[in-house]
């Protein structure tokens, strides 16, 4: 009889003491910065002097305009000019925002590698005589940030890469002619393994490997020799945490690759965490580690046309919502070709940092709330200190906040920002709090409930 229930497939991760140990910092961290940056960044959403579009992923520019890889590279390279010190400014920005880790694109689908690779000339080492991976890793370490490598297994540049091995198809976007009319995808896979080996051998400890991604009909071991690939990474970096995007459950279709709320199975053999993209799973994902990745506007790679920015309030409340459901938030920036960060992103991260400076205690090290989804906001808990954190989004007009389902006796209620005590009266699992008339923080005011006894 299957443990998977009949009506709602409940994901579970099989785990081990080693895995529990390596997940510890990641579960504490709750907030990370994602960076999409590569050749496409200098193009900034423009091709032949026209906007490629007002929204959507501009890191896909080569595909969107159906450019062959040589034309794309020729036009993009002169516009990709990282200034010295760009990496330090990213790391400082992440640190000040309250991020505990930074994950950046070592190679995106266009195939351009940011490190100094011995196995290609389509890399920063050959083109710029710089190792941008080393610069970014060093900058992160200097700020005390954990560091993760996003690595695309899709590669529109490599002349042996095929989207569907069996059909000898190149990926749409790669219009290089087939050498001898035929490709040998196995040779691409060798290249992929070599390049990943460089990345996990030459830059000291790597905290995360963030694979991206498999298609419905070509995935996992068949497509990438995924188990070998992961085993080598694990061998060189025993503590590394990996996502599950090398795999896809074909029956689940395009919606099911663990980017969405539920997949029927997850095992640490397939990756340590699931990556819902651009959304927060309605009820979290109990039993699995998950991280929502999200853009601040609509594109991952920089576009000068995309002006659809989420408000700081929306971003802060999303971080809280995710923490209250037990997940992590990986929030993206798309720097320009010179490595500078759009002012809109800097402002938003600064606002998040100001909120986190005051209220970070309610986010770091928190776990999913035992209290469901109250109408007024979100709740996180810290089981080590036996406290609950009420995040009030909608301030009660009469100043009385009723909290239902408290799993214990409340010893003390305080405003987290200034430790001022809040009068509380409890009857059973319900507590009524007498709040100040006006919300001290219009975005999210946090009230700390200390419960009796220690967990």
Q: Which residues bind ligand JFZ (CB under 6 A)?
A: 57, 59-60, 212-213, 254, 257, 259, 277, 293, 300
Distance between CA 16 and CA 216 in Å, rounded? 29
Q: Cβ-count burial of 111 within 10 angstroms (0-12 exposed, 13-18 middle, 19+ buried)? A: buried
**What's the min distance (Å) between Cβ of 453 and ligand JFZ?**
43
Largest CA distance in the chain: 79
**What's the min distance (Å) between Cβ of 11 and ligand JFZ?**
17
Output 34 or 393, the one with its CB closest to ligand JFZ.
Answer: 34
Question: Tokens 């005390």 — which residue?
Answer: 144
Output 216 or 346, the one with its CB closest to ligand JFZ.
Answer: 216
Tokens representing 159?
């002349």
Distance between CA 356 and CA 354 in Å, rounded? 5
**What's the min distance (Å) between Cβ of 61 and ligand JFZ?**
10
Tokens representing 157?
């540049």
DSSP state string for 333-395: E---TTSPPPHHHHHHHHHHHHHHHHHGGGTTT-B--SS---TTEEEEEETTTTEEEEEESS-
Output 59 or 291, the one with its CB closest to ligand JFZ.
Answer: 59
Cβ neighbours for 153, distance < 8 A, ≥ 6 positions apart: 192, 211, 212, 213, 214, 223, 224, 246
Output 26 or 60, the one with its CB closest to ligand JFZ.
Answer: 60
Measure CA 23 to chain center: 15
CA distances from 261 to 45, 249, 285, 290, 349 (A): 30, 13, 7, 9, 26
Output 254 or 402, the one with its CB closest to ligand JFZ.
Answer: 254
**What's the min distance (Å) between Cβ of 80 and ligand JFZ?**
17
Tokens representing 98?
């309250």
Output 90 or 213, the one with its CB closest to ligand JFZ.
Answer: 213
SS (H, E, C) 128-196: HCCCHHHHHHHHHHHCCCEEEEEEECCCCCCCCCCCEHHHCECCCCCCCCCHHHCCCHHHHHHHHHHHH
Report how many helices (DSSP H) and strands (DSSP E) the chain contains, helices first: 12, 18
Output 151 or 448, the one with its CB closest to ligand JFZ.
Answer: 151
Q: Residues 309, 344: contact at Cβ < 8 Å? A: yes
Q: Collapsing DSSP states into helix, strand and coil, what is residue 123?
A: strand
**What's the min distance (Å) between Cβ of 86 and ligand JFZ?**
20
Distance between CA 9 and CA 286 in Å, rounded? 11
Q: Collapsing DSSP states into helix, strand and coil, what is residue 293?
A: strand
**What's the min distance (Å) between Cβ of 105 and ligand JFZ?**
7
Output 162 or 259, the one with its CB closest to ligand JFZ.
Answer: 259
Output 123 or 212, the one with its CB closest to ligand JFZ.
Answer: 212
Output 241 or 410, the one with its CB closest to ligand JFZ.
Answer: 241
Q: Collapsing DSSP states into helix, strand and coil, what is residue 191?
A: helix
CA angle 91, 94, 98 (to 5 degrees): 140
**What's the min distance (Å) between Cβ of 277 and ligand JFZ?**
5
Distance between CA 258 and CA 104 in Å, rounded? 20
Output 200 or 330, the one with its CB closest to ligand JFZ.
Answer: 330
Cβ neighbours for 187, distance < 8 A, ≥ 6 positions apart: 160
């Amino acid at each position: 009889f299957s443990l998977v229930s009949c009506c709602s497939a409940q994901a579970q991760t099989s785990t081990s003491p080693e895995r529990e140990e390596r997940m510890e910092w990641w579960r504490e961290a709750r907030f990370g910065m994602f960076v999409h940056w590569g050749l496409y960044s200098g193009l900034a959403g423009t091709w032949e002097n026209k906007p490629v579009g007002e929204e959507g992923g501009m890191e896909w520019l080569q595909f969107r305009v159906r450019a062959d890889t040589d034309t794309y590279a020729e036009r993009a390279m002169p516009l990709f000019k990282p200034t010295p010190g760009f990496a330090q400014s990213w790391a400082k920005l992440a640190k000040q925002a309250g991020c505990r880790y930074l994950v950046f694109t070592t190679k995106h689908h266009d195939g351009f590698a940011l490190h100094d690779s011995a196995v290609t000339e389509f890399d920063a080492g050959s083109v710029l005589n710089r190792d941008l991976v080393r610069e970014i890793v060093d900058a992160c370490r200097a700020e005390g940030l954990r560091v993760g490598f996003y690595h695309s297994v899709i590669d529109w540049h490599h002349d042996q890469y095929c989207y569907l091995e069996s059909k000898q198809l190149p990926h749409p976007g790669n219009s290089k002619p087939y050498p001898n009319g035929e490709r040998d995808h196995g040779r691409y896979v060798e290249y992929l393994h070599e390049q990943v080996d460089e990345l996990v051998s030459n830059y000291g400890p790597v905290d995360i490997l963030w694979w991206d991604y498999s298609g419905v009909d070509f995935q996992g071991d068949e497509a990438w020799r995924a188990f070998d690939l992961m085993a080598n990474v694990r061998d060189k970096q025993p503590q590394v945490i990996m996502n599950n995007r090398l795999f896809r459950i074909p029956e689940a279709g395009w919606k099911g690759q663990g980017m969405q709320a539920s997949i029927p199975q997850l095992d640490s053999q397939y990756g340590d965490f699931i990556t819902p993209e651009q959304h927060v799973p309605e009820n979290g994902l109990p039993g699995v580690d998950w991280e929502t990745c999200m853009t601040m506007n609509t594109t991952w790679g920089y576009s000068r046309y995309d002006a659809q920015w989420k408000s700081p309030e929306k971003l802060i409340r999303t971080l809280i919502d995710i923490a209250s459901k037990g997940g992590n938030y990986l929030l993206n920036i798309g720097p320009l070709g010179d490595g500078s960060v759009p002012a809109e992103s800097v402002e938003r991260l600064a606002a998040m940092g100001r909120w986190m400076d005051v209220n970070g205690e309610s986010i770091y090290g928190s776990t999913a709330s035992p209290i469901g989804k109250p109408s007024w906001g979100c709740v996180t808990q810290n089981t080590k200190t036996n406290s609950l954190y009420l995040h009030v989004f909608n301030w009660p007009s009469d100043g009385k906040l009723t909290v239902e389902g408290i799993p214990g006796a409340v010893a003390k209620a305080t405003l987290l920002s200034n430790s001022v005590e809040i009068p509380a009266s409890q009857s059973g699992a319900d507590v009524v709090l007498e709040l100040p008339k006006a919300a001290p923080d219009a975005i999210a005011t946090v009230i700390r409930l200390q419960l009796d006894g220690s967990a």
